[in-house]
Chain A
């Protein structure tokens, strides 16, 4: 605190308080090569005759945790060597290099990115943390929040996907960060000085220099935008619109797209086209017709409920979730997807297999009798289920982990035959169960929409809870049933839609962190 008397004191501080070393913090994830970059920066300064000191606290963080490296550098003054601090001080860091976007955000929270002082050089690619990955649905942190924060905290920002740039140039992110540092002009060294450091390293020099130069050029290019637009934020599904071009090449599909364009409101058209593609791909054109017919029926009801004033939200959500409900996950679908021609090419590209290589894949499958019975004709499957002893015996024979060598002739033919069973799908036990469940769900949604339009829409969205295979699928079903039952019990409240949304969100996160039971208890306490 400034006190009045202190201002009148005659003593001036010793020396110029601004004559401090240049301070650089490198925020990274353990094992990402932050140490290499730190070493380069130290060498850069030492080569110029400066004194440089780096410190780090690797410890357990070296196993993929968040960590920080810190460098200070200064010219010696005659024989006097500067005394350099061992850790960054909030508000007093000149350069922050962040090798990942959330780590950039973390550095802002540490207070080491401040206006008027800090040049922030960050890669905006994301390496997701365990909590983001293990969330049972969408749990990815909002990169836009980081973009907003660095917008007001940093003096200068250089943000782009340095990881992609490094990979494209056959190197690692350290080289891209180093190139961006050089281009930022935050250090008084020339491009040649930087090159010399990389070259002296001796390892992967060529790729490192290439990456360095690419990063340097990208930053210095006139069209480089500091940030905001370049941040690759992961959008949520709700905000995206289907970007499908309008005309299918297949005439028959084209007619059905026409029908959608003609009969459905504009708001739901793109979603319905995507849905059509999904169900036709799942089964056949007739199934697609059924999908459109169902949607048209729902639209009539939607209109009756005043959907026009609601942007046809009911029809839109129905278009989305009905397609998902109709294209359920069964063994036929899995076998079909695994045997398609495009898949081989996609994997080859992903793993970098060329014509000089041979590619095989092994699938990790664990079919149970339940899945097999599902595809059998409903009558026969029901009979089988009623013979408990036989069913158990068969299950023991069937249910075990199987390593399927997809591209060996024998296994491929087997998968191919299973994929070909789609002709019997519509008479199968699984199909009858799915249809019943689908109809019940639509009835529930329509029923609730009668009194509360928004609630009906929320019920449609609850279909999202049903997904996965085997136990996961069963758990999803039971969560869905629980949520719908609860929604029904509070459906007369004015804010029912809001509670329905909360129930669904809690159910999605239920297995990890979320607390569906707790929320249900809370709701029951006031209803």
Chain B
């Protein structure tokens, strides 16, 4: 594992009955899984569910005690396929991933799983990465639930409710033989809150029991004629069973008065913001005492027709608050009411935004319009809504718009990927621009300033595959970038194997930073750290050789910009056939610092000789051109304005956060920029030999310096 401890979080998992859990919801979910008696957990890390994976990876003792099999899956398809353990056995299992990207990858396995159905409870924890802060395309997981018929839970953002729905979700899955998805949005995953715990449950039927008494049933395997029967079974058996369970256990919730002219139907996840919007309109207090009837769908698929009909029947109009598009729920509500001949009008995306975050502001505006149209009396004397428009219209604020610069994310201080892209930029200055296909991972920041490299990104591990069309000889070669995470996720076969087989002529860069870094530094097959629970240290070079790659160059120190550039140049100009594969390896600096820094501090304290390095800039030598920054973008490399009336431009400056990776010096040297950079080595606890050499050389140096200083005109003013 990455050298980062989740020990404090792991302690949360040990809480027993009646104790209070306080922390992030994603951790509450992790605890909820153990309380529900899962037998196995898998998944693939990624915001916002990385924490779940990280904490379980560090919780081996607890999981062993409970007999839970946890693994970090190779990708989401692997995780989904893992759920097949619940097909024939009464085993509860859960997997987790970032969605919709993860669900896209997993969908083949999920469709098969959902077709045959499950015996044990099978649950997918969906980290719905939608809206502000998201790093992926804006889509809904809802569509997957509908197409494969998996139940979709969308709990109200409340720790207790979420944990309760995990337990109920497993029961629902078992009662209806259908896998269940539990959807939690980004803000909810990272939401701090509390709930009262129950004891963890050791599953009655274990994985070992299953292995020792294997079972098979041809009727559960997706092959005609069973596949046709599965579809019928979904409609005639599993759906009715689910509806009965959901109704019987009141998984959905009702708030506010029983009757009303209008009502609001909402996804569970929208609840908190809807209450705040109602409060702004004077229709609720801060504790959720609402004057408008609410029907909260903690289960958004299936829609429970009878509950909807009952809620809508005596109202003139209902509003569907549904984030994202298309408006599946609004359509479903219309179908239900139309079919039953209920005349209640359904509104939703006509008064609320079709796309984007449902912020409190957006909901409040939509609600106001809806009430204005249907029951204006409810709005009473209309207290003023919070409104910043007047402030934003102030001239000084309007002016600010052109002043505040964007602050995009970028590579960390000392990132080993920076010199790779600096070298790529330099080689393009020599050989011209090339088509570059990028991939998902930290290296995707190459598309942003200052590097501005990369034309497309087609999905995790697909950087190499996405240059497939450019594989013929002739013209300038394409360059594909892929991280070690993407490589093991699927890139080895989809990208490298494909390129070897089809004799692709392009250049394939594999960025190896020893971890799945962008998702939090998890271990993968090629990680270098020993891991007693997993088999690491499987080199990428062996893997690519294994699929038949022959032109492979390994750079074991990416900070050597000159060498990096040479390898790129060679790859782009060689006459050799087939893919030109470059494996550039250096440890993720974030993880390295976490690992090394405490060791260094300890060594210094215990009197050992330690050399601490840092870079600096001679400000008199720097001319303020900032070419070095355009080849770096390092957070620790900034500029400062000198107090010198003769200088117009600020000069480069390096701050204390420098970790001495060497990129700026290397770049200055390789690009022949300027001699301003220096590396300062501070020797802590020097040896007697160090001292002796120091005295000799510095003695001589001081004599020389004094000699010249005496002959120089003093520039001092007094």
| Contacting pair B672 A407 (CB below 8 A) | no
- 17 additional A-B pairs beyond A245-B718, A253-B715, beta carbons within 8 Å, are A3-B376, A38-B192, A54-B192, A82-B287, A92-B360, A130-B633, A145-B403, A275-B646, A278-B646, A341-B706, A347-B680, A350-B616, A366-B672, A409-B697, A468-B625, A471-B672, A471-B673
Q: Which residues of B contact A274 (CB under 8 A)?
A: 644-646
Taken together as a complex, chains A and B put the C-alpha atoms of A349 and B473 apart, in Å, by 56
B702 within 8 A of A: yes
B276 within 8 A of A: yes
- Residues of chain B having any CB pair with chain A under 8 Å: 22, 47-48, 129, 131-135, 157, 186-188, 190-193, 271-273, 275-276, 279-289, 291, 357, 359-361, 364, 376-383, 385-389, 391-392, 394, 396-397, 399-401, 403-412, 442, 445, 448-450, 518, 562, 614, 616, 618, 620-621, 623-627, 629-630, 633, 635, 637-639, 641, 643-650, 665-666, 668-675, 677-684, 686, 690-691, 694, 696-698, 700-702, 704-706, 708-709, 713-718
Within A405-455, the residues touching B (CB, 8 Å) are 406-409, 412-413, 416, 419-420
* A residues in contact with B288, CB < 8 Å: 80, 82-83
Provide a sorted-by-A list of 11 A–B residue pairs whose CB atoms are within 8 angstroms.
A11-B380, A12-B380, A57-B132, A127-B635, A250-B716, A347-B616, A351-B682, A360-B681, A364-B677, A468-B627, A472-B623
For residue A109, CB closer than 8 A to chain B, the reply is: yes
Contact B645 A145 (CB under 8 A): no
Chain A residues with CB under 8 A of B675: 334, 338, 363-366, 469
Q: Are A55 and B187 in contact (CB under 8 A)?
A: yes
Give the residues in chain B near A56, CB-CB below 8 Å. Answer: 133, 187, 190
Chain B residue numbers with a CB within 8 Å of A66 are 406-407
Min C-beta distance of B539 to chain A, whole Å: 27
Report the bound CA distance from A129 to B669 in whole Å.
25
Partner of B399, one of A128, A130, A145, A471: A145
Given the known A-B contacts A129-B406, A339-B705, A472-B625, are A361 and B359 also in contact in the complex, defined by CB atoms under 8 Å? Answer: no
The size of the chain A interface, using a CB distance under 8 A, is 162
Specify which of A19, A42, A65, A334 is in contact with B408 (CB 8 Å cutoff): A65
Q: Hey, which chain B residues are within 8 Å of A103, CB to CB?
A: 407
Q: How far is the CB of A17 from chain B (nearest CB, A)?
A: 5
How does the 8 Å CB contact mask read for A342-364 relative to B, with 1 for contact and 0 for none? 01000100111100111111111
Report chain B residues within 8 Å CB of A13: 281-283, 380-381, 383
Q: Across the interface, which residues of B come within 8 angstroms of A242, CB to CB?
A: 645
Q: How far is the CA of A366 from the CA of B672 in the complex (A)?
A: 6
User: Chain A residues near B392 (CB, 8 Å)?
Assistant: 109, 111
Chain B residues within an 8 Å CB radius of A281 = 713, 715
Contact of B674 among A323, A408, A470 (CB under 8 A): A470
CA distance A134 to B132 in the complex (A): 27
| Interchain CB contact under 8 A, A401 and B670 | yes
Verify A91–B386 contact, CB threshold 8 A.
yes
Nearest opposing residue in chain A for B641, CB measure? A234
Contact of B683 among A31, A243, A357, A412 (CB under 8 A): A357
User: Which residue in A54, A82, A102 is a CB contact (below 8 Å) of B191?
Assistant: A54
B286 near A19 with CB under 8 A, answer yes
Instruction: Spot the interface stretch: A135-143, A290-298, A372-380, A519-527.
Output: A135-143
B388: contacting residue among A60, A90, A235, A278, CB under 8 A: A90
User: A384 to B684, alpha carbons, bound, how many Å?
Assistant: 48
Q: Which of A15, A63, A115 contacts B411 (CB 8 A)?
A: A63
Q: How far is the CB of B605 from chain A (nearest CB, A)?
A: 13
Contact call B134/A85, Cβ cutoff below 8 A? no
Contact call A57/B399, Cβ cutoff below 8 A: no
A340→B282 contact, CB < 8 A: no
Shortest Cβ-Cβ A-B pairs, 5 listed? A13-B282, A57-B133, A111-B388, A91-B386, A65-B409
CB pair A152 B397 closer than 8 Å: yes
Q: Which of A152, A271, A285 contacts B713 (CB 8 A)?
A: A285
The answer for the CA separation of A86 and B630 in the assembled complex, in Å, is 38
Q: Which of A85, A113, A235, A402 contacts B272 (CB 8 A)?
A: A85
Pairwise interchain contact A31-B412, C-beta atoms closer than 8 A = yes
Contact A55 B190 (CB under 8 A): yes
Is the CB–CB distance between B404 and A138 below 8 Å?
no
Q: Which of A21, A74, A90 contacts B386 (CB 8 A)?
A: A90
Partner of B624, one of A63, A85, A467: A467
Q: Which A residues lie within 8 Å of B386 (CB)?
A: 89-92, 114
In the bound complex, residues from chain A placing their C-beta under 8 Å from that of B702 are 341
CB distance from B598 to the nearest CB of A (A): 13
| A31 neighbours in B (Cβ, 8 Å) | 412
Task: Report the separation of the CA atoms of residues A316 and B180 in the bound assembly, to the nearest whole angstrom.
Answer: 77
- Assuming A59-B48, A366-B672, A407-B697, is B648 touching A138 (CB within 8 A)? yes
| Given A130-B410, A464-B648; A360-B187 close (CB under 8 Å) | no
In the docked arrangement, what's the CA distance between A362 and B431, Å?
Answer: 31
Question: Is A337 an interface position by the 8 A CB rule?
Answer: yes
Q: Which residues of A contact B357 (CB under 8 A)?
A: 87
Give chain B residues whose Cβ lies under 8 Å from the Cβ of A14. 282-285, 289, 291
Q: Give the distance in Å from the alpha carbon of A426 to the alpha carbon of B181 in the complex.
A: 79
- Judged by a CB distance under 8 angstroms, whether A498 is at the interface is no
Which B-chain residue is minimally distant from A154 (CB atoms)?
B391
Q: How far does the alpha carbon of A489 sit from the alpha carbon of B410 in the complex, in Å? A: 43
Bound together, the chains give a CA A151 to CA B690 distance in angstroms of 57
> Once the chains are docked, how many angstroms separate the CA of A31 from the CA of B377?
49
- Expressed in whole angstroms, the minimum distance between the Cβ of B29 and any Cβ of chain A is 15
B717:A246 contact, CB within 8 angstroms: yes
User: Which residues of chain A are near B673, meaning CB under 8 Å?
Assistant: 468-472
Contacts of B47 in A (CB 8 A): 58-60
Does any Cβ of B come within 8 Å of A52's Cβ? yes
Q: What's the minimum C-beta distance from B190 to chain A, rounded to whole angstroms? A: 5
A476-498 at interface with B (beta carbon < 8 Å): 476
Tell me the complex Cα distance, A338–B614, Å.
Answer: 17
Complex CA–CA separation, A132 to B629 (angstroms) = 10
Is A302 in contact with chain B by the CB < 8 A criterion?
Answer: no
Known: A134-B633, A248-B716. A360 touches B404 (CB 8 A): no
Within the complex, the shortest CB–CB distance from B43 to chain A, in Å, comes to 18
Residues of B within 8 A of A419 (CB): 708
In contact, B286 and A83 (Cβ under 8 angstroms): yes
Query: Once bound together, how far apart are the Cα atoms of A142 and B394, in whole Å?
Result: 18
State whether B289 touches A15 (Cβ < 8 A): yes
Query: In the complex the two chains form, is A84's CB within 8 Å of B704's CB?
Result: no
In the bound complex, do residue B449 and residue A134 qualify as a contact, i.e. CB atoms below 8 Å apart?
Answer: yes
The CA-CA distance from A358 to B410 in the complex, in Å, is 34
Query: Given B286, B409, B445, B715, which contacts A277 in the complex, CB threshold below 8 Å?
Result: B715
Which residues in A have their C-beta under 8 angstroms from that of B383? 13, 17
Whether A407 lies near B648 (C-beta < 8 A) is: no
* Chain A: minimal CB distance from B460 (Å): 14
Q: Taking CB as reference atom, which chain B residue is nearest A248?
A: B717
What A residues does B646 contact at CB under 8 A?
271, 274-275, 278, 320, 323-324
Can you name the residue of chain B whose Cβ is closest to the Cβ of A243?
A: B643
Q: Is A307 at the interface (CB under 8 A from chain B)?
A: no
CA distance A21 to B287 in the complex (A): 10
